[in-house]
Chains A and B, each alone.
Chain A
Amino acid sequence: MNIIQTNNLQKSFGKTKALQGLNLTVEQGQTYGFIGPNGSGKSTTIRVLLGLINPDGGTAEVFGKNPVQDAVEIHKRIAYIPGELALWPNLTGGEVLDFLGRLSGGADQKRQAELVERFQLDLSKKCRSYSKGNRQKVALVAAFSAKVELLILDEPTSGLDPLMELIFQNCLREATKNGQTVLLSSHILSEVEAVCDTLGIIRQGVLVESGKLSELKAIPGTTLEEIFLKHYGEDLAKAGERHD
């Protein structure tokens, strides 16, 4: 069963064409690495999937439902980490976790406590005094402790230190093992390679490559970087950069 399905998705902001016919399919149980540089349309795609913005053309379905019409229904089964994360400056980390949990009808308290421990998060601090990495941890704990089927993570590790990055990867593997489907938007190739089983590369609002990571790398000696540069080598050359 397809958890996420978009057909010829289009969206413009003024003159900027963010999505130009995107076809994205994420199947149940997949950990899908959604790769592309800044401004390629990753976050716009995710916002359409969440029903936050209306597409100009094409269709999108999550759990076979319409993201705008059935937003609340769909969101009961989703946890999301925004790419540009902001928290309420005068609430503590603990208050934010409780609030988000209550919105979804209760988080897994045991799991939450365990995650707080693992990410070494101080819940008594106000969000305004958190560093970027610590704000990110609050969102990660909220997402991984939610009782949901689909995790949509938009560059979730920005600001995390290498140690926390490893803990994040472990949590993600546990999520996959528990049967959760993951859409991981990222521009860190090594991260995607470490945790994802399926891959999609987006360029100028179009999905230019997608498939199982194992199949894409089937040709001996092919690295993820080479697959990526197959589509972006041109842009690199235009910028006058060389790649060895």
Chain B
Amino acid sequence: MTKFTGTLSLLRLAIRQDRFSLPVWIILPCLAFWGQVSFALAMPDWQVFLGELSSNPMTTAILGPIVPLTLEGAIMLRSMVQGALVLMIAAPLVVIRHTRSEEASSRAEFYLSRPVGKYAPFMAALILSMGGSLIAGLLVTILLLISGFAVAGSIVAGLTLAFAGCFFAGLALIIAQIFTAPKSAWIAITVLVGSTYFTMIMNNLSGGFSGWLWLAPQSWFRGTVPFGENAIWPFFVFALMCALTVFCAYAILKNRDIAGGLFAEPTGRTTAPSFLATPFALNLWQNKNMALAWSVGMAFLGLSVGAISPTIADQMSEMLASFASWGPAMAKLGNQEGLVALIIYMLGLMGGAILAVSMMIGLKSDESAGYTEMMLAKPISRERI
């Protein structure tokens, strides 16, 4: 298969480039589990806590029911979601960084002119992202075993986690075939990860095991139920979903040009809009798609929160009052509005911070790319940039 020639060399190159970030995202899920495990083990009256948690309408609605209703289940409740989320973001990052970004920068053209098969860069990126996800899962399994939990459950938990990463690696591979600009691919991934929040909550509201489950990889443990049923059959569904993504990506890649996508690069306006006259305006203009996606996403989240909160707010007022620190604030705000305000505040903080950070990173990369030099040559002070 000469189409895959050079895969190992490219894999080594990718590992060399990612030598700092790779260990971080592989270990991060393990840390999430470690936090939950030590928290749970340190709690002597965990049975009481568990009883309170599972009888609480809000927990069951938002976080989903605890499966199984044991100490292990309580650990899974949070750590599986957090761990999967890490992999669902990191694995696509790896894929796009080593496929589409390389093509967009013409580095791919450079090494593909050597005896390297057309599919080698994609194979290398897949091995790295899926392999990384599997290792991350394996580390979680080892951690759970060391902590003294059952063997079967530990393996099921680790494997479920790994599959969430693999599935998103596959999705990223499709996205990398479609968009010519890495930034568009990033936005698409962000939207996908964001929409799994929606499917996750829908699944939790539907009792924890529904059709929504398959579209929310961070909830996949509700299908396999580690330390409970330890179900094997969902793994076949996961594997099939992963294989399907890789096959779709392959089908697009097979016939497309290197550095080309499914859509031609859109042409733009031939003159700049009149407000584009300051460094600040330039920064906004360059990030307009990101800002737009963020605004739409936030509006959507706001709407969903608004839609579900009136129905559950009454049930939750008791629970909210029991939070020592939030209680007084909630009482002041009035429970229902208080809850909505709190959720919007937290989401806004999260989303807004991401937007701001990504804009600043853009600024920094502009500087390294030499664009800033071009601007500083104009009558503009450094501080204004």
Contacts and interface: CB of A to CB of B under 8 A. Distances in A.
A79 B9 CA distance: 17
Interface residues of B, number: 28
Contacts of B258: 47, 52-53
A84 interface: yes
A75 B17 CA distance: 25
A72 B9 contact: no
Contacts of A52: 109, 112-113, 257-259
Contacts of A166: none
B17 A91 contact: yes
Contact of B115 (A76, A90, A152): A76
B343 interface: no
B17 A103 contact: no
A14 B266 CA distance: 10
B332 interface: no
Nearest to B105: A86
Contact of A104 (B16, B112, B115, B255): B115
A85 B112 CA distance: 13
B100 interface: no
A27 B113 CA distance: 20
Given A53-B260, A54-B257, A82-B113, A88 B368 contact: no
A72 B111 contact: no
B384 interface: no
Interface string B9-29: 100010011000000000000
A35 interface: no
B106 interface: yes
A182 interface: no
A128 interface: yes
A103 B111 contact: yes
B255 A54 contact: yes
B368 A128 contact: yes
A97 interface: no
A115 interface: no
Interface residues of A, number: 36
A91 B15 CA distance: 12
Interface string B113-125: 1111110000000
A88 B115 CA distance: 19
Interface in B349-381: 368
Interface in A63-110: 70-73, 75-76, 78-80, 82, 84-91, 95, 99-100, 102-105
Interface in B90-116: 105-107, 109-116
Contacts of A79: 113
A139 interface: yes
Contact of A88 (B17, B109, B116, B117): B17
A89 B365 CA distance: 12
Contacts of A50: 109, 112-113
Contact of A78 (B6, B113, B368): B113
B325 interface: no
B5 interface: yes
A103 B115 contact: yes
Given A52-B257, A102-B9, A82 B110 contact: yes
B2 interface: yes
Contacts of B307: none
Interface string B241-262: 0000000000000010111100
Given A52-B259, A86-B106, 7 more contacts: A14-B264, A52-B112, A54-B255, A71-B112, A72-B115, A82-B113, A86-B110
Nearest 4 A-B pairs (CB), nearest first? A80-B113, A53-B257, A103-B114, A72-B2
14 contacts: A47-B257, A52-B112, A53-B258, A53-B260, A54-B257, A72-B5, A72-B115, A72-B117, A75-B113, A85-B110, A86-B106, A87-B107, A88-B13, A88-B17
Interface of B: 2-3, 5-6, 9, 13, 16-17, 105-107, 109-118, 255, 257-260, 264, 368
Interface of A: 13-14, 47, 50-54, 70-73, 75-76, 78-80, 82, 84-91, 95, 99-100, 102-105, 128, 139, 152
